[in-house]
Amino acid sequence: MNMKWNLDTLYTSFESNEFLNDIKELDTNITKLNSWVEKELIESAAIQDNNAEIGNIIRKYLDSYINIRKLYSALSSYAELTFSVDASNNTAKKYTEILEQKLPEITKATVKFTRWISLVKNIDKVIKNSGLLKEHSFYLNEISNNSNYLLTDKEEVLASKLKNTGSNAWSQLWNVLTSKVKVDIEINGEKKELPLPVVRNMANDADNNIRKNAFYAEIDVYKKFDEAAAGALNSVKGEVITVSELRGYKSPLEMTLINSRMDEKTLNAMFSAIKEYLPVFRKYFKKKAELLGHKKGLPFYDLFAPMTKQLVDKEDNESELTFTYEQAIEFIVNKFRDFSDNLADYAENAFENNWIDAEQREGKRGGAFCENLHVIGESRIMSNFDGSFSGVTTLAHELGHGYHGHCLKNESFLNSDYPMPIAETASIFCETLIINAAIKNASETEAYTILENSIQSDAQVIVDIYSRFLFESELFEKRKDSSLSVKDLKNIMIGAQKESYGDGLDQDQLHPYMWACKPHYYYADFNFYNFPYAFGLLFAKGLYAEYLKTGNSFIDKYDNLLKETGKNTIADVTAMMGIDIQSPEFWKSSLELTAKDIDKFISCAG
Ligand SMILES: [Zn+2]
C-alpha cells in the first residue's frame, strides 16, 4: 500500500500551466471584484425598493466572491499540503507566502459589501426570489447581522494594521520565547538542555522519576521568561477587550459565542452538566493516585502516567497492540462498516486513491491533520503512522474530518465551512467507534490500557478545559481594570485548577504556569479557545450514545447533520436530530458514558 499522497487532482506541479494560469486568474478576479465594488455598489441601490436590482447585485457579488475563494483554496491548499510533507521545498514555501497576501486584498470589498447588504431593508423578500440567494440565505443573513459590529472603514483598516504591531506581534514573541527556551534537566545522572515540548512530553514516560524531574524542570524554566509571557498575555487580552468593546460586543465571550454560532444558554447547559460530573472525574484521579502510591490525590506530574495492569498470565504479556499499515486500514474500514457503508466506502476510497500520507519520513511535519478540498470534492490526510494503537485512532480521527467534508461535498463553497465547536464532531465520533471496537477485541491487559487512556484524554478535555475556561473568564474580568502580574496570573490559575480538579489532584502539586505554556491564550482571534474542545467531545459522545440507543435509524440523520453544519446555528443543526443542546440532560447523557468507563476502570484496577 502506498503511504504517500498524490496531489495531482489539484495540480501536477508548481510549473504546470494549470497552476500558473489559476494564479493569474485569481489576480484578475480580485482586481475585477475590487473595481466592481467601487463602481457598482452604491448605497442607494440597497436603500431603494428595487428588489430585482438588489437581487442582481447580490448574485454578482456571490458569483465573483465564491470564484475567488475557490481558486484561492485550490492554490493555497496545493502549496500548503506540499510544504507540510516537504519542509525543504522552497517553491511551496514561496507560493504559500505569496498566496497569504492575496485574501487581504479583498477585505475592503467584503467589508463594503457587508455594510451595503445590512442596508437592504427587506432582505428576506429579495432572497426568496432567487435560487442562488436562497441557497445562501444563512450566509447572507449572518453577514448582514454581523455588520452591526463593523467599525468605520478607516477604523477597520487601522485596527487590522495595528494588529500586526499589537496582538500578532505579542503572540509571535510568545512563540519565540517558548520555542527557543531550553530546559535544564538531569536524566539518569546526565545533565541536558532540552526544548520545552520534549520535556513536557516526558509526562507520558513510564518511569515515574523521569515524569517528576521533567515536571519540576519545566516549572523552573518558566521563571526564565514569565515576565515577558505575562506582558504578552496582558497585551493580547487588553487589545481584545478594547476592540470587542469598540465593536459593541457585551464581552469577549459574547463575541466568541457569536462567531461560533452558539448561544449562552447552550454554553451554560454544558458547563452545568460538567460541574455536576466533576466528582466522578475526581474519583478517577484519586484511584489513579492510589495505584501510583500517592496519598493526597494525584500530583499534576502524574496526570498522564501510563497505566498498565498487573499481568495475570504469560500469554497476555506477549500480546502487543501494534499494527502494520495494512492491518490498520483493514481494522478501520471493517469497524467503520459495522457503523455505515457510506463511512466505510469513504475510508476505503481514501486509502485506495492515495489521499493519505501516513509514512514517517524526514522533512515531514509532525502530528496529523485533514484538509477537506471542497473545490475538488476530495480530502487529504497527513499523519505519521508509527504502528501504535494511537496511530490507528489518529487515522480514524482524521478520516472522520474527511467524512465530514465528504458529506458537505454537494453544498456551496460558502456553506461548507462550519464553526469551531462543531468541527471535532465527526472526528471524535469515528475515534469513539474505533476505541470501543478495539476494547471489545483486546486482551484483558490491552483493554485496561486502552480504557485508561481514553478516560485520561476525556478528563483533559472536560476537567482541564473547565479550569482553562475559569482562568480565561477571570483574566478578562480583571484585565478590564489593569494588567496582571505574574503572581496574579499564577494565583488565578491555581484557583481555577482547585475549583476544577478539587481533591482529585494533590493541592500542593498543581501547575501555576499553564497560562505560559498553552498557545491558545495568545491568539487574539480565538478567545476562549477551550470550550469548543469540551463541546466537540461531549457532542460526539452524545451522538454516539444516541446511536447506541436508536441503531440504524441514526445513520441517515447523522449524515444529514454533518451536511447541514455549514449553514445553520449550532442549536438549529442539533435540533434536526431531536437533540436539545440547551438542556443539561443531553450533556449529562454524554458524560455518563465516561462515568461508566470510570466505574469499569476502578473495578478492573481492583
Ligand atoms: Zn481533529
pLDDT band at 29 (very low <50, low <70, confident <90, very high): very high
How far is 203 from 64, CA to CA, in rounded Å?
51
Angle between helices 584-605 and 444-459 (to 10 degrees): 140
- Ligand 1 centre from 402 Cα, in Å? 10
How far is 428 from 404, CA to CA, in rounded Å?
11
Assess contact for 184 and 224: CB atoms under 8 A: no
Helix segments in 166-251, DSSP class H: 167-180, 196-201, 208-222, 226-247
Q: Answer yes or no: is pLDDT of 42 > 80.
A: no
- Ligand 1 centre from 228 Cα, in Å? 31
- Residue 36: its pLDDT value, please? 94
- Ligand 1 centre from 335 Cα, in Å? 19
- Ligand 1 centre from 297 Cα, in Å? 31
How far is 77 from 95, CA to CA, in rounded Å?
10
- Ligand 1 centre from 529 Cα, in Å? 14
- Ligand 1 centre from 561 Cα, in Å? 18
How far is 257 from 252, CA to CA, in rounded Å?
9
Query: If you average pLDDT over residues 39-65, what whole number do you get?
Result: 85
- Ligand 1 centre from 534 Cα, in Å? 13
Place of cell 475559569: 470
Query: If you average pLDDT over residues 132-141, what whole number do you get?
Result: 96
- Ligand 1 centre from 169 Cα, in Å? 27
Query: If you average pLDDT over residues 52-70, what whole number do you get?
Result: 95
**Continuous segment of H or E residues that includes residue 191:** strand 190-195
- Ligand 1 centre from 368 Cα, in Å? 9
- Ligand 1 centre from 423 Cα, in Å? 7
Query: If you average pLDDT over residues 128-133, what whole number do you get?
Result: 92
- Across 416-448, b (16+ Cβ under 10 Å) vs e yields bbbbbbbbbbbbbbbbbbbbebbbeebbebbbb
- Ligand 1 centre from 370 Cα, in Å? 8
- Ligand 1 centre from 380 Cα, in Å? 13
- Ligand 1 centre from 7 Cα, in Å? 21
pLDDT digits (tens, 9 = 90+) for 266-282: 999 999 999 999 999 99
Going by C-alpha positions, the residue among 45, 157, 40 that lies closest to residue 108 is 157
Amino acid of residue 403: Y
- Ligand 1 centre from 140 Cα, in Å? 28
- Ligand 1 centre from 401 Cα, in Å? 7
- Residue 318: its pLDDT value, please? 41
How far is 455 from 29, CA to CA, in rounded Å?
51
How far is 49 from 416, CA to CA, in rounded Å?
32
Query: If you average pLDDT over residues 573-578, what whole number do you get?
Result: 88
- Ligand 1 centre from 422 Cα, in Å? 10
- Ligand 1 centre from 427 Cα, in Å? 6
How far is 142 from 188, CA to CA, in rounded Å?
58
Lowest mean pLDDT among 293-297, 319-323, 499-503: 319-323
Q: Count other C-beta atoms under 10 Å from residue 553's C-beta.
A: 9
How far is 46 from 51, CA to CA, in rounded Å?
9
- Ligand 1 centre from 172 Cα, in Å? 24
Assess contact for 334 and 479: CB atoms under 8 A: no
Going by the DSSP 8-state scheme, the letter that residue 364 receives in this structure is -
- Ligand 1 centre from 242 Cα, in Å? 32
Radius of gyration of the chain (CA): 25
- Ligand 1 centre from 533 Cα, in Å? 10
Going by C-alpha positions, the residue among 107, 137, 130, 115 that lies closest to residue 59 is 130
Considering the chain, what percentage of its residues have pLDDT values greater than 70? 98
How far is 94 from 292, CA to CA, in rounded Å?
51
Place of cell 483493554: 447
Taken in order 148, 151, 157, 162, is the CA torsion positive or negative?
negative
- Ligand 1 centre from 381 Cα, in Å? 11
CA dihedral 258, 261, 264, 265 (to 10 degrees): 160
Tell me the three-class secondary structure of 5-20, residue by residue. CCCCCCCCCCCCHHHH
pLDDT digits (tens, 9 = 90+) for 211-253: 999 999 999 999 999 999 999 999 999 999 999 999 999 999 9
Cell of 390: 494511537
Lowest mean pLDDT among 116-125, 131-140, 455-464: 116-125
Q: Answer yes or no: is pLDDT of 55 > 80.
A: yes
Going by C-alpha positions, the residue among 73, 51, 63 that lies closest to residue 113 is 63
- Ligand 1 centre from 270 Cα, in Å? 20
Assess contact for 269 and 538: CB atoms under 8 A: no
Q: Answer yes or no: is pLDDT of 416 > 70.
A: yes
- Ligand 1 centre from 35 Cα, in Å? 39
- Ligand 1 centre from 404 Cα, in Å? 11
- Ligand 1 centre from 506 Cα, in Å? 31
- Ligand 1 centre from 424 Cα, in Å? 5
Q: Answer yes or no: is pLDDT of 51 > 90.
A: no
Q: 470 forms bridges with which residues in the sheet? A: none
Place of cell 473568564: 473
Q: Answer yes or no: is pLDDT of 101 > 90.
A: no
- Please provide the average confidence, as pLDDT, over all residues in the chain: 92
How far is 2 from 326, CA to CA, in rounded Å?
10
Listed in sequence order, the residues at least 6 apart from 35 whose beta carbon sits closer than 8 Å to its beta carbon are none
- Ligand 1 centre from 347 Cα, in Å? 16
In 3-state terms, the chain is what percent helix, strand and coil (to 5)? 70, 5, 25
pLDDT band at 40 (very low <50, low <70, confident <90, very high): confident
- Ligand 1 centre from 585 Cα, in Å? 25
- Ligand 1 centre from 126 Cα, in Å? 38
Cell of 413: 463553497
pTM tops 0.75 = yes
How far is 534 from 461, CA to CA, in rounded Å?
5
Cell of 556: 441517515
What length is written for the chain? 606
Lowest mean pLDDT among 335-339, 506-510, 548-552: 548-552
- Ligand 1 centre from 299 Cα, in Å? 28
How far is 171 from 591, CA to CA, in rounded Å?
34
- Ligand 1 centre from 457 Cα, in Å? 14
- Ligand 1 centre from 113 Cα, in Å? 33
**Helices H / strands E in the chain, number of each:** 29, 5
Label residue 542 exposed, middle or buried (CB < 10 Å: 0-12, 13-18, 19+): buried
pLDDT band at 441 (very low <50, low <70, confident <90, very high): confident
- Ligand 1 centre from 303 Cα, in Å? 22
- Ligand 1 centre from 434 Cα, in Å? 15
* β pairing state of 378-382 and 356-357: parallel
How far is 85 from 364, CA to CA, in rounded Å?
4
- Ligand 1 centre from 384 Cα, in Å? 15
Q: Answer yes or no: is pLDDT of 313 > 50.
A: no
- Ligand 1 centre from 301 Cα, in Å? 25
- Ligand 1 centre from 605 Cα, in Å? 30
**Continuous segment of H or E residues that includes residue 380:** strand 378-382
- Across 357-368, b (16+ Cβ under 10 Å) vs e yields bbbeeeebeeeb
- Ligand 1 centre from 458 Cα, in Å? 14
- Ligand 1 centre from 260 Cα, in Å? 17
- Ligand 1 centre from 77 Cα, in Å? 18
- Residue 317: its pLDDT value, please? 43
- Ligand 1 centre from 29 Cα, in Å? 33
- Ligand 1 centre from 352 Cα, in Å? 22
- Ligand 1 centre from 398 Cα, in Å? 6
- Ligand 1 centre from 382 Cα, in Å? 12
